[in-house]
Structure 1
């Protein structure tokens, strides 16, 4: 992984595809999808505009090989579980960008021709597809890349909604299940409330594991659909190589990873944390910072961040475990000892954890905490 270029950007700006001496600060990361209005969900990816044009064919960020090492994934590819991606708008270059990613990391081809890849509209038809949207396309590219890194043998069905509205994305969920998905990943969110919760039943399907991003705004109001008791809520971490540790990697709560205490959803019987009387987010976590993807629309390889990376990665692990559809959120707590506990970091950096009084709701520590849940994957046994 080439991280030196990212560091160099702190002293440079992007201009005409090259790095020039900085007279001002480097371009800052920004949300791929703008803040959603009423009745809309927002994709949870951040990227640095223009950065891909300085990298072209040089991946920067954690790749599939890094993730396999960090999370002790088995050498065998696993089963051909169908993993569904619920998403808004079309990503015209999605299959080509996925092919570039998989080739870069030595993963087998996943194409329409070999039956591994399928992209449909929210009704399940190959055409017509929705209009294209850059931010959501970047999100789609991240999603299929992370599923591929977690489960190279899984088949992928991408269901594209006409809009990021609650109703359209609820229909994509149902369609993914109808098309055979045993696990469905949702890398988007909105503040929980009466309007989105009216669609909760669409994220609850017998025989299907539903996974969702916990959010990218740190400790705040719980994010829908992650807050649903039927959903595996996935938080985010920051990953670093650490040759001196037994694991070979160091990990801490990601600064922006979402956590929260629901104002609406009753406490599930399988959650026993004491400072939130209702549903607590998150359940489990994985790396959400500096993931390498290839985006034709963005200009090539670039690093992206967001719990929209950790959620599809965990969805892929469910697919690879052979327990997709059987596994539900409660199982994570019953198998907590099978995960690597994350004990450092917080998602309330401005107040250094003081927003929630230094509590486990925003500060990582031994055992369950809201930013990282029961911990991060340590092989597949926890799933």
Structure 2
């Protein structure tokens, strides 16, 4: 059980209009980025969200470097592929088929316009031998938060995030259609409106790689993320254990944590531990859903499931703007949330996920890798507690585990 010194909860707000939130002892040390990693999005203005992508500063391959492409339906060989994990690596790690999801549309919600999004996506998919996904063939569509192709919003610096999201859903589900919805600005209202728009336009899965610290105003935003029949994934965050983020804390979403993924000589061929930046936490403002039964958190606990998110074991991403044109390696739970959305689409059963309850069922456990080992907080904060340590069964940083084939999906 966590001690009172580890968590302090503001019980009764003096003014419901004023955000009042929990504080934790974890502080900035919990999910501090490594020296070779930087946040794509800086500190947001009050009332705004930030993206959770983290870019490796020591892994950049300029755009002029030529790369041999894979052939359609067959990913590029490791010798021809850029540094960082590609689709074949991730399908191997999570025992996923390459085919499936042709009738699914994955929406990516981000803020601001990435003017080269479609062209950059084409380079990524060609390099790895994935089928073309373009506006011309009906696979790719980009709209503003009102659902129109123009005018698109101004660039707000989320281009790396958008490239990461598009590449990750492509890696997970090469045959899925992709809808990119660009909010005017990274406010809770604009991003929430974009989620509603994505659903209206036919999205079967919606991925959201952003967030803001929960507060007394959090419950009012929940309606944007409640769409029965549509699976909504949300990044847990990248600051380790502490106050959870919204929209990850809503009970109608699948909150996606993060792991560090490495090759090994096991039967699986891979191992995972909790990534130290993967956010987890116990909500002070959202009630605990009936399907979540962990003992030490009286509210909604983050996260539900997870996938690779450590920038130092991250995926390759291609883009031609934002000061680093070419191949880069990007991580954060901004990578795991769209990947899990892609896995759900690959299985083709989004209506199973009006929330994350299905992942907690006993029948789902064989379809998930239980991640054991690693932590997202100093031992002085919570010792061996599951809220910040990857233990047998459920834990905060990795949830119920990572995909092990499609049976849990």
- Verify same fold: TM over 0.5: yes
Deviation at 1:209, TM superposition (A): 1.0
State the partner residue of 1:38.
46
CA contact (8 A) 2:134 2:140 kept: yes
Structure 2: segments with no counterpart, 5+ residues: 1-33, 68-81
**TM-aligned CA distance change 1:338 to 1:345, over 3 Å:** same
Q: How does 1:1-383 map to 2 (within 5 A)?
A: 28-49=36-57, 51-52=59-60, 57=65, 59-134=82-157, 136-242=158-264, 244-289=265-310, 290-297=314-321, 298-327=324-353, 328-334=355-361, 335-348=364-377, 351=378, 353-383=379-409
CA distance, structure 2, for counterparts of residue 272 and residue 51 of structure 1:
41
CA contact (8 A) 1:27 1:48 kept: no
Deviation at 1:35, TM superposition (A): 1.3
Q: Which runs of 4+ in 1 moved over 4 A?
A: 53-56
Deviation at 1:50, TM superposition (A): 7.7
Deviation at 1:240, TM superposition (A): 0.4
1:304-349 alpha-carbon deviations (Å, 9 max, x no partner): 110000000000111111111332310011113320100111111x
CA distance, structure 2, for counterparts of residue 49 and residue 245 of structure 1:
31
CA distance, structure 2, for counterparts of residue 75 and residue 293 of structure 1:
19
CA distance, structure 1, for counterparts of residue 123 and residue 186 of structure 2:
27
**TM-aligned CA distance change 1:222 to 1:358, over 3 Å:** same
TM-score when normalising by structure 1: 0.89
Q: Secondary structure at the match of 1:234?
A: strand
CA contact (8 A) 1:214 1:281 kept: yes
CA contact (8 A) 1:81 1:322 kept: yes
CA distance, structure 2, for counterparts of residue 305 and residue 68 of structure 1:
17
1:5-51 alpha-carbon deviations (Å, 9 max, x no partner): xxxxxxxxxxxxxxxxxxxxx97321100111211000001114585
Q: Aligned Cα RMSD in Å? A: 1.6
Deviation at 1:95, TM superposition (A): 0.5
CA distance, structure 2, for counterparts of residue 198 and residue 339 of structure 1:
33
CA distance, structure 1, for counterparts of residue 57 and residue 371 of structure 2:
31
Q: Secondary structure at the match of 1:252?
A: strand
1:222-268 alpha-carbon deviations (Å, 9 max, x no partner): 110010000100000001011x2111001110010111111111111
* Corresponding residue pairs, total: 353
Deviation at 1:150, TM superposition (A): 0.7
CA contact (8 A) 2:386 2:396 kept: yes
Deviation at 1:198, TM superposition (A): 1.6
CA distance, structure 2, for counterparts of residue 129 and residue 49 of structure 1:
30
Q: Secondary structure at the match of 1:361?
A: coil
Structure 1: segments with no counterpart, 5+ residues: 1-25
Q: Secondary structure at the match of 2:237?
A: coil
